[in-house]
Structures are given as C-alpha cells and as structure tokens.
C-alpha cells in the first residue's frame, strides 16, 4: 500500500502548508492588510486547490510505474479535467 | 464582493466551526449548512457563498483523508474511477453557475436540501450489506478491518454504471451549489452498489477534494472567491470537524438527524421564498 501512504503524506503536507498560510494571512489582513497578507491568503488558497491536484499527479505517476495502464489512464483523465477547469478559470478571468 | 471586517471574519469562522462539527457528526461536509447561512443570513450573492463553501469542502476532504490513508477504509481505485465522472460533472457545474441567475440556484438548492433531509430521515437506522470474508473483492472491491466488530470486511462493487452516473450528478450539484455531494454518492454506493457504509463515506470524502477543486478553481479565476473569508471559513470548518469527530461519538445521531432534517426543510422553504421573488 505504498500509494496510500504517499497520498496521505501529500494531503497532510498540503493541509499544513495551506492552513498555516491562511491563518497567518488572515491575522495580518485583519491587523493592517498589506501586500504580505494578500500574498499569504492567495498562496493558502492556491496550495489548498493544488493539494488534490498533486494527489492525482502522484497517483498517475505511481500507476504508470506499476504499469497499471487502466488506472494510469483514468487518473490522467481526472488530471486533464482539473487542468480544463484551470483553463476555464483563466478564460473567465480574461473576459472580465 | 462583501467588505471584510474582523467581525465578519469572526462570524464566518464561528459559522464554519458549527457547520464543520454538524457535518462531522452527521457524516456530511457541512456545506449544506454553510451556503444557506452565507446566502440567506449574511446576504452574500449565491456564487460567492458557494465559492467559500467549496474551499471548506476541499480542506475537509484533505484533512480527513490524510488521517485515513493507509487504513484501507478509502477504496482508492473505486474513488479514482468515479472521480472521472465527478470532476467532469463539477467542471460543467462550475461553468454553468456563471450563466444562471441566483434565483435558479436558490430554487435548485431548495430541492436538494429537501432531498438531503428525506435521505437523512430514511436512513435513521443505518444498516450494512451482508459480507462474506472469504469472497474475492475483484479489481474494484475492497477489504478493510472494522474496529467495532473486530473482523475483516470484504465487499465487491456492483452496478458500476449507476455509481458513475450518481457521481456525475453529485459533481454537478457540488460545484453549482457549493456542497460536497457526498449526500448523493454515499446512499447510492451503500444501498445499490454493495459498498459498506463506512467505506462508502470514506471513499466519498476522499473524492470530494478533487470534485470541489474543479469547481472552486473556476470561481477563483472568475474573482468570486474572497480569500480572507474563505480562510476564516476553512479554519473554522477544520476546527469544527476535528471537534465533531473527537467528541461526537457520544451524541445521539438519531435525534441530531431529525433536528437537522427539520433545519433543512426550513432552509429549503427560505430558498424557495427568496428564489421565487
């Protein structure tokens, strides 16, 4: 169950990093605002959004290395879907 | 976009804590309580409320699954297969949400809240599927050790197309309404697809991180996610779900479910009143 442990590590790291950024960012934001607060808050959100993505990347790599092609393909499709939503986000962003 | 004050951040943190602990006690994500609070009580536009709630769904999924990974309760293969459907549904829902009016979303939320309440009431006495420990779980099935009974549980997945269809709908509803969607997947997986309740709930909680990410990314890119408020909500929900899991075992799930079903009926009625205007 190497993959399960690997995924557990990725998720735990993502949670710790994003929660710390969000907590410090929020406190700074309420204290005085400023560029650092905005940076930390956005970094926290990006890490939060990137954590499930990283978990899918790790799974794809692991299934490829195990030569489990059906599941390598499935996780790769999920990866493409997440990339598609990021692309859609950029398209919406540009329109406004 | 709402103006962030310390008071507002504190209110949202507290709301997140309550939604998170209720969610952990009921085996839900908590978004079904957070979205109506933000939309109806604080008066945020629906998409802003949904965006904040989706970030809490991701935080809950990552936190809960990190703790469970390696215990074989999460059926990763089934989860990754169904994620293909939930992420597609969620992507479409996130795009659709940009083009439909707030009143449509409110009425849809009203329908889903009633369904959630009815499902909750119909499942007051939860039961597990019959299990033969010697059976071959197949590619998608699973085997885990159940702490309460002390025995090993084995199951096979049945009616896979149904599970895929339910996951697509769950993903779609998730990013349109800002909820996790477990309330749709878990009963289907448990009642019709042969997955024991605990494994179904753990697998769903694992999947909703990916589901909500597909939706939340679109809201974030569209400038509908206020990072400071999302931070307050996420931290609150994480505290609440931690507390709910830690102290919740003693609470009477039956009465809690009846109470929450009543709350959801009221939420649904309020959503219809607002949405009908």
Tens-level pLDDT at each residue, chain B (277 residues): 777 888 899 999 999 999 888 877 776 777 888 998 998 899 999 899 999 999 999 998 898 888 877 777 888 889 999 999 999 999 998 888 888 888 888 888 888 888 878 877 876 665 555 556 666 777 777 777 766 666 777 888 888 999 999 999 999 989 888 888 887 888 888 878 888 877 888 888 899 999 999 999 999 988 889 999 999 999 999 898 888 777 765 555 677 677 778 878 888 888 888 776 5
d(CA B157, CA B136): 11
Strand ranges inside chain B, DSSP E: 142-145, 152-155
Which pTM was predicted?
A: 0.89
DSSP string over B82-110: HHHHHHHHHHHHHHHHTTS-HHHHHHHHH
Phi, psi of B269, deg, nearest 5: -60, -40
Question: By the CB < 8 Å criterion, does B161 face chain A?
Answer: no
**Helix B46-68 vs helix A35-65: angle between axes, to the nearest 10 degrees?**
50
* Mutation target among B204, B220, B235 for the A interface, most CBs of A within 10 A: B220
CA distances from B79 to A50, B84, B202 (A): 18, 9, 10
Cβ(A52)–Cβ(B184) under 8 Å?
A: no
**Tokens coding B29:** 């994500």
Helix (H) or strand (E) holding B176: helix B160-177
Name the residue with tokens 């996130």: B94
Question: By the CB < 8 Å criterion, does B98 face chain A?
Answer: yes
Question: By the CB < 8 Å criterion, does B143 face chain A?
Answer: no
Distance from CA of A18 to the nearest CA of B (A): 9
Q: Which of B62, B90, B94 minimises the CB distance to A51?
A: B62
d(CA B69, CA B132): 24
Cβ(A30)–Cβ(B231) under 8 Å?
A: no
Question: By the CB < 8 Å criterion, does B165 face chain A?
Answer: no
Q: Which residue of A has its CA nearest to B231?
A: A22
d(CA B131, CA B246): 29
Contact A88/B4, CB-based, under 8 Å?
no
Q: What is the CA radius of gyration of chain B?
A: 18
ipTM higher than 0.90? yes
């Amino acid at each position: 169950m190497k993959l399960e442990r690997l995924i557990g590590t990725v998720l735990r790291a993502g949670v710790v990093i994003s929660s710390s950024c969000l907590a410090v960012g929020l406190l700074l934001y309420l204290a005085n605002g400023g560029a650092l607060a905005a940076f930390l808050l956005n970094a926290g959100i990006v890490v939060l959004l990137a954590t499930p993505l990283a978990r899918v990347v790790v799974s794809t790599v692991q299934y490829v290395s195990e030569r489990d092609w059906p599941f390598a393909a499935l996780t790769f499709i999920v990866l493409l879907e997440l990339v598609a939503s990021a692309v859609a986000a950029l398209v919406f962003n540009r329109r406004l | 976009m709402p103006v962030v004050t310390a008071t507002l951040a504190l209110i949202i943190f507290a709301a997140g804590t309550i939604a998170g602990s209720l969610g952990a006690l009921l085996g839900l994500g908590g978004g079904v309580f957070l979205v109506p609070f933000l939309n109806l009580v604080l008066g945020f536009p629906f998409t802003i409320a949904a965006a904040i709630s989706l970030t809490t769904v991701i935080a809950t999924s990552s936190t809960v699954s990190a703790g469970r990974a390696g215990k074989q309760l999460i059926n990763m293969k089934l989860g990754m297969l169904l994620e293909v459907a939930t992420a597609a549904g969620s992507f479409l829902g996130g795009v659709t949400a940009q083009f439909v009016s707030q009143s449509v979303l409110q009425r849809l939320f009203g329908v889903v809240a009633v369904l959630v309440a009815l499902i909750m009431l119909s499942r007051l006495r939860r039961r597990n599927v019959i299990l033969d420990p010697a059976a071959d779980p197949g590619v998608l099935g699973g085997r885990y050790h159940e702490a309460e009974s002390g025995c090993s549980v084995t199951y096979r997945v049945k009616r896979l197309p149904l599970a895929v269809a339910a996951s697509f709908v769950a993903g779609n509803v998730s990013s349109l309404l800002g909820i996790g969607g477990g309330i749709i997947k878990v009963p289907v997986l448990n009642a019709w697809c042969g997955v024991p309740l605990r494994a179904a709930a753990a697998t769903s909680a694992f999947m909703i991180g990916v589901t909500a990410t597909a939706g939340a990314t679109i809201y974030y890119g569209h400038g509908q996610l206020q990072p400071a408020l999302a931070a307050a909500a996420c931290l609150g929900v994480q505290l609440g779900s931690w507390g709910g899991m830690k102290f919740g075992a003693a609470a009477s799930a039956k009465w809690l479910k009846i109470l929450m079903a009543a709350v959801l009926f009221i939420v649904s009625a309020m959503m219809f009143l607002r949405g009908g205007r």
